[in-house]
Amino acid sequence: MGGTAVCSPAHWTPYRIYSLAETCLDLLYEEVSGAVKSTIITTRGVAPASRSRHWHEAIANTYFPLDLEFGNPASFTGELVNWQLGDVSISRLQSQSLQYRRLPKHLRPERREEFLVTVPARAEIQFSQCGREVRCNPGGFILERSDEPYVFSHSESADMWVLKVDASALGARIRQPDRFCSYQFDATNGASALFVDMLHLIPRRYEAMNEEVCATVGRQLMDLLALALETDERTLTSHGSAVRASNLTRIDAFLRRHLHDPELDPQKVARGCGISVRYLHELLRDTNQTLGQWIRDQRLAAAREKLRSAAGGDSIAQVAYRFGFSDHAQFSRAFKAQFGISPKDYRQQQARRDN
């Protein structure tokens, strides 16, 4: 998608314009089959003295609360387009220079952890989190996590694509995704290029997609992101030697393929990965998890993803058995302990939101 085509109302039919007096922001809602909507938030028509406050609100509603520092608040201009894909969202953010700060006051234990994947299309962006700094230019992308303070900025007018994903959903696809927040990923080759191509393509096809298709495409986009992260060469050397990291990746892949097996144990995992049980436990020390904890977390994350996307499908007991839990009650207790909600209530919550 080039130029400003995605921001042009003429590109969307039918559409309605709402002017919200309480925010003075113009919102465009695209309706497709009465269900799927995309949203534009713009500073056009907003009084200069109000732009800073209203852009704060726009960013908080689209992503999560952040402090913003403007070069010149009164003359600031920006436009934000958002497309919802089930539990995943894509946005395109165009604005003048700005600094975003995620501060300790913004962190709330009850709020779910999320990741933002930012793909700059124009201008360099700077990002700092957990003592690590990275600069990213067009042709790359970076990850930001919501549960730690950070600073994100661009000193020139920028055009960025942003993917927002639930941390538990991404964690169900790849081990410890937060370890990738210090990298700039190359978006011009391999799986990373495919991920960015898909990111750009989805808004152009959005008007033909219903809610079910949007949710499916959102999950596929997360699958492609996980593949892009996992196949980056630096992933294998981010913690320890390449050999140790490669073995951890092999263990992770083996576990994901065998989550259904209730008899999964250290002997079976070691044998399947071609290593000794002793070396298996030595490798796991790098993750600060025992094998049992790793398997349990993977199973619960996979079950949660299935419950999220399988309304009206398998029963909760069937989901539990599918992912290696031999006892329904044990699964329900573990699920509630991990996510703070029972499987039944979680499925009902997701069904209400979908409706």
pTM: 0.68
Q: Taking 60 as the threshold, does the pLDDT of residue 7 lie above it? A: no
> Which pairs from 22-27 meet CB under 8 Å and 24+ separation?
23/54, 23/57, 24/50, 24/54, 25/54, 25/57, 25/58
Average pLDDT over residues 290-318: 82
Element (H, E) at 127: strand 125-129
Q: pLDDT band for position 128 (50/70/90)?
A: very high
Report helix, strand or coil for 76.
Answer: coil
- The CATH code for residues 242-354 is 1.10.10.60
Q: What is the pLDDT of residues 17-55, one digit of tens each?
A: 332 333 334 433 333 334 456 889 999 989 998 999 989
Nearest to 185 by CA among 154, 121, 139: 139
Output 111 or 330, whichever has higher pLDDT: 330
What class does CATH assign to 5-235?
mainly beta
Average pLDDT over residues 321-343: 89
Q: What is the pLDDT of residues 224-262, one digit of tens each?
A: 999 998 887 665 444 445 567 677 888 888 988 899 898
The answer to whether 322 and 314 are in contact (CB under 8 A) is yes
Report helix, strand or coil for 164.
Answer: strand
pLDDT of residue 30: 38
| Tokens read off for 191 | 């799986």
Q: Which amino acid is at 79?
A: E
Q: What is the pLDDT of residues 262-292, one digit of tens each?
A: 889 999 999 898 888 888 888 887 677 788 8
| In the chain, domain spans | 5-235, 242-354
Q: Worst-scoring range by mean pLDDT, 90-94, 191-195, 327-331?
A: 327-331
